[in-house]
Amino acid sequence: MSRAFVFPGQGAQTIGMGQALAAAYPQAKAVFDEVDDALGESLSGLIWEGEQDVLTLTQNAQPALMATSLAAMKALEAEGVSIDVASCVAGHSLGEYSALAAAGALSIADTARLLRTRGEAMQAAVPVGEGAMAAILGLDFAAVQDVAEAAAQGEVCQAANDNDPTQVVVSGAKAAVERAAEIAKEKGARRAVMLPVSAPFHCALMQPAADVMAEALAGVEIKAPAVPVIANVRAAAVSDPSEIRALLVEQVTGSVRWRESVVNMAADGVSEFWEIGAGKALSGMIRKIDRANGVRAIGTPDDVKAALEALNG
């Protein structure tokens, strides 16, 4: 059985995530300590004892979710489950950074600093209230691309996240996204839901953030990952450090091609997906992409033990 390790993106954050892992595994606690040191603050205190609305701020949620994913990865490693158990890794948006850190391409400290910078830059790129995102339910990616094009009317409106066959997210100028939601319903979408986000991610309005990330990524070492990483914007495996760097910059304004990524991993023989970190959002998407895919979410010590038993069973 071939498996992929996949890492969640923004939206999965909850107060208390990773705390049980840190209590059960010194290796997991060390991840949170390393992230705290890298950022010069107690992010772990916010994650475990803070307020949900503060944790949800983009500049906090991004490094926090990465820390939780890497803590789960270190707990697996403590039980003898190394990255080599996976044939590839992938992550949804910021989760791609978690995947790269798990595969040894980026250090945990560098990843924490990059994600803090990324979160701040994405928030600063567009004044609050000027951008928006909406989930279009019941239309495929090509149909939503057409909807976004029709809705743009000279403003930015793009199909940003191809999550699964039933959900595509549009992103851009607020008025254009609102038009897209209405057009989508006219075109047969089951629902169009405005998302409670603070910025229009993964569209051309994020270009200032992409410029910031180009500079930030130029200053860190990126190694060849231990296993291939499926890049969001390409939905294909990459291992070359210079290519990884370029694609992380492109990812800020480019579409997250998650559905295609899962389809391509399955076509390459992956039959089981382990979601490493907080929540089960990716597991739900993967099931909708192909119910034949096996999924397993690993975010607690019990999940780690169950994964170990399944692996050795």
Q: Which positions are annotated as active-site residues? A: 93, 202
Rg, C-alpha atoms of the chain: 18
Is 191 in a helix, a strand, or coil? strand
Is 294 in a helix, a strand, or coil? strand
* Cα separation, 68 vs 127, whole angstroms: 29
Cα within 13 Å of Cα(172), Cβ side: 26
Q: Which strand (E) or helix (H) includes residue 237?
A: strand 236-238
Tokens of 251: 């990812």
**Residue for token digits 């924490």?**
112
Q: Which strand (E) or helix (H) includes residue 260?
A: helix 258-267
Q: Is 235 left (phi over 0), alpha (psi -120 to 50) or beta?
A: left
Residues in Cβ contact with 295 at an 8 Å cutoff, skipping those fewer than 6 apart:
272, 273, 274, 275, 283, 286, 287
Tokens of 293: 């895919």
DSSP string, 92-130: STTHHHHHHHHTTSS-HHHHHHHHHHHHHHHHHHS-TTT
CB atoms within 10 A of CB 215: 11
Burial class (CB in 10 A: 0-12, 13-18, 19+), 243: middle
Pairing of strands 88-91, 2-7: parallel
